[in-house]
Each structure stands twice: as C-alpha cells, then as structure tokens.
Amino acid sequence: MPRTAFPTLDRRSFLALAATGWLTPIGRLLADQAESTRRPAQSIILLWLDGGPSQLETFDPHPDTKIAGSTRAIHTAARGIQLAEGYQQLADQMGRVALIRSMVSKEGDHERGTYLMKTGYRPDPTVEHPSIGAICCHELPVGSTDIPRHISILSGRWPGRGGYLGAEYDAFQVGDPRGELPDVVSTIAADRQKARLADLDVVERAFERGRLGRAAATHHRETVARARTMMTSEQLRAFDVSSEPAEVRAEYGETPFGRGCLAARRLIEVGVRCVEITLGGWDSHVNNHAIHASQAKELDPAFAALLRDLARRELLDRTVVLCGGEFGRTPRINPLGGRDHWPGGFSLAIAGGGLRGGQAIGETDPEGIKEPVRPTTIEDVHATVLSALGLDPSRENTAPATGRPIKLSAGRPIRELLG
C-alpha cells in the first residue's frame, strides 16, 4: 500500500495545536519535547507606544457596548480573537501573537508608568533600575557586535537606561533611519585624525602617572577604543534601510516608525540585543477615536511586516517582540470625546521568542466596572521575557550605591506563554 504523506509540523505548530487541545497523547508528548528543547531567544524588540494607547481601540475591542463608543472589531487568524478595526494586517499575523488583556499597574502617571513598564520596578528614590534592554545586554554574551547592543530609535521622553548597571548600558539614541547616522563619521582627513589620536595618547599617559587607579576607573581608553571600532564597523550599515528593496520598505510603511521597525530587524541580524522603536502620540484625552484611527495606519503595517519579515528570515523564534505603552485608557469616554489614564485593565501584545501565540490571556469587563479576569502585572511580563531569553528572573545583581541585592525581576513567568 502506498504510504500516506503527512504534513510536517514544526515546534511552533505543535505548540499551537497543543494549546487548542487538538493533539493526541502522542502528539502532546511531541509538543512537550519540542518545548523542552526550545533554544532561548537572543534579542528583544520593543514597540513602544508612548502616551498610553487605548486597549479598546487596539487589542481588546468590545464592539456594540457602551464603553466601545463607535469602535468596531475585526476577526483575526486566531480563532475567537478580535482586534479593533484598522489592524487588518496584524489580524493575519495573530497566530504568532499573544495578547495579554488583563494588565494591571499601580502607576497612572506617564513618567512613572514608563519607568515601571521598561524596568519592571516602580520608581524608588534610593535606586535607579536598569531597563529590560540594559539587563539583556548585561546578562547575555557580548558576541561579535561592534556597534551598541542597546538601541533606541525615535527616542521618546524616557528611553531605556542602564540604571545601576552603568551608563554604558544606556540605549544608543538615533532618529529616523532615513537620515544619516550622526557623529559616527570623522569630519577631518585621516592623517589629521591620526595625529590627534597620537596627541590624545600623550595626554592620557601624562594623566596616568601616579594615578593609575583613578585613570582606569574612568574607562576612558576603553570608551575611545569602542567608539573608534564602531566608527569603522561594517555593522553600521544595519541602520541604512535605503539598501533594502523598495517592496520591503513599502511593506513596513514609508513612515519613520515603519523605517524604525525595518532597521530593528536589520540590527537584530548583526547581534544587537535590544531595539526599542517609539511611536508617540497616543495621549488621547481629546478625540480618542480619531487619534487611534490615525495611529493604526502606522502601527498596523509596521508591526505586521516586522513579524512576517522575522519569520521569513528565521529570526522570530530568537527574538521577543513586545508592543505596548505605559497604561491604557478609561472605559468611559469623557465630554471631549477622549479617554483618560487607566492602569486598571489594559493590553499588551507579545510574539516570538518561542512564546505561544494565537491566544488572549485574561479579559476585561464589557461594562467597564469589574476588575479584569486573570490580572497580570508588569513584573510578570518582565519575568516572562527574561525566561524566554534563558535568564533566571530571580537572579540578583547588586546596586553599587547601596550594596542592595536586586532581582532581575520581581515577577513570575506567565505559564500560558511559556508552557
């Protein structure tokens, strides 16, 4: 008898089927084996929606309810999951994306909320916590990357910082990738540059006489050496999105944010650990629906194209993609047609890194009154991302100023995402 040809299922397909309960006992065993052999992710891409996006006009619509106003919903590739109208491209990628619809936070102020979301800790006057990108760069191997490994594109008001890990872990800030990268090309002739460096060496050696310890503590020589290496590195080309085919650039959208997402993919390819790309303008106290409809035109194509592109290049499993802002927006629409700050039940989207997509975790009340079902903290999201990177969230670093041991994360990994 001829043998029947069965489709080949990769690890992601097994896990998706396991999550929906469609696998036989043998299939479940294979899915568990696939999960146990998962290689940790290596990088993070943070799509930062600065200003606090409304969950109702993005990832958690409640159509035909009073709290929705005129917001309508669309079906997605993930059974039973809807997105707000305007996210048609992302809807096609929902098999790769998990939505956390029950996020809760104790911070409803923009600066404090951003600090909590990016570091996993509430602001504390005795210590400055590192952002998750800084932790990623500190904890994971350096590799052969010559350019900064923590990068902020279109930096918002509060880009990722190194905190107590040191300023060397601050995000390297750049603008629209369409422009030239500033301050990386020498403005003088090579022979004059060589002479200047020789003069600098004389000054440094003179300063070091009798004060070697103090000179070493400045890390000045190492900083200059890293800067020179970066300025001559071929990896700087990763910032140049103009070298991409026109159809790829169009897929992301010819916007600063779209180009930022495309640059993020290119940077991840050369070993950068964390890239955050900021899309500002979500603070919708007035004309909430119009603002979100406009924002979706930039976010939808860029987010969807990033997922497709990472998957095509077999980079998605090794890259965690996190999308969200500092809090959500009130279920009640105010007299100005806006929504106000709401940390009591909002949404994040997360994909890649071997995490289980095609699901929505938690739910909010369609009347906007009750507490979210299955509340999830920002600390838990941080613990999940760190776990996907192969890091132990409970591992401790010591804050130099106080000598206090501080965990990488005070949260617990989200079991639905990691399995």
Note the pLDDT tens digit of each residue in 47-102. Answer: 999 999 999 999 999 999 999 999 999 999 999 999 999 999 999 999 999 999 99
Nearest-5° Cα angle at 351, 347 to 357: 90
Beta bridge partners of 32: none
Contact 331, 19 (CB under 8 A): no
DSSP state of 169: G
Tell how far CA 33 is from the center of its chain. 28
The single-letter code of the amino acid at 391 is: L
pLDDT at site 7: 39
Q: Which of 249-275 are b and which e, b meaning 16 or more Cβ less than 10 Å from the residue's Cβ?
A: bebbbebbbbbbbbbbbbbbebbbbbb
Rounded Cα gap, residues 220 and 204, in angstroms: 9
Which residue is listed with tokens 């700050």? Answer: 341
Return the minimum-mean-pLDDT range out of 26-35, 187-196, 204-213, 393-402.
26-35
Per-residue CA distances from 417 to 291, 294, 387 (Å): 31, 31, 10
Contact 398, 404 (CB under 8 A): yes
User: What confidence category does residue 40 fall into, taking pLDDT thresholds of 50, 70 and 90?
Assistant: very high
Contact 248, 309 (CB under 8 A): yes
Top-confidence residue, 211 or 145: 145
Per-residue CA distances from 309 to 135, 186, 304 (Å): 26, 34, 9
The tokens for 50 are 């600065």
SS3 at position 354 = coil
- Structural domains in the chain, sorted by start: 11-21+36-177+240-418 (3.40.720.10), 183-238 (no CATH)
Q: Which residues are CB-neighbours of 384 under 8 A, at least 6 positions away? A: 350, 355, 411, 413, 414, 417, 418
pLDDT at site 205: 79
pTM: 0.87
User: What confidence category does residue 184 fall into, taking pLDDT thresholds of 50, 70 and 90?
Assistant: low
Q: Which residues are CB-neighbours of 386 under 8 A, at least 6 positions away? A: 132, 135, 392, 393, 408, 409
**What's the mean pLDDT in 367-379?**
97
User: What confidence category does residue 9 fall into, taking pLDDT thresholds of 50, 70 and 90?
Assistant: very low
Which residue is listed with tokens 């591992």? Answer: 395
User: What confidence category does residue 25 fall into, taking pLDDT thresholds of 50, 70 and 90?
Assistant: low
Helix axes 256-269, 288-312, angle to 10 degrees: 30
In whole numbers, what is the pLDDT of the chain averaged over residues? Answer: 89
Top-confidence residue, 128 or 209: 128
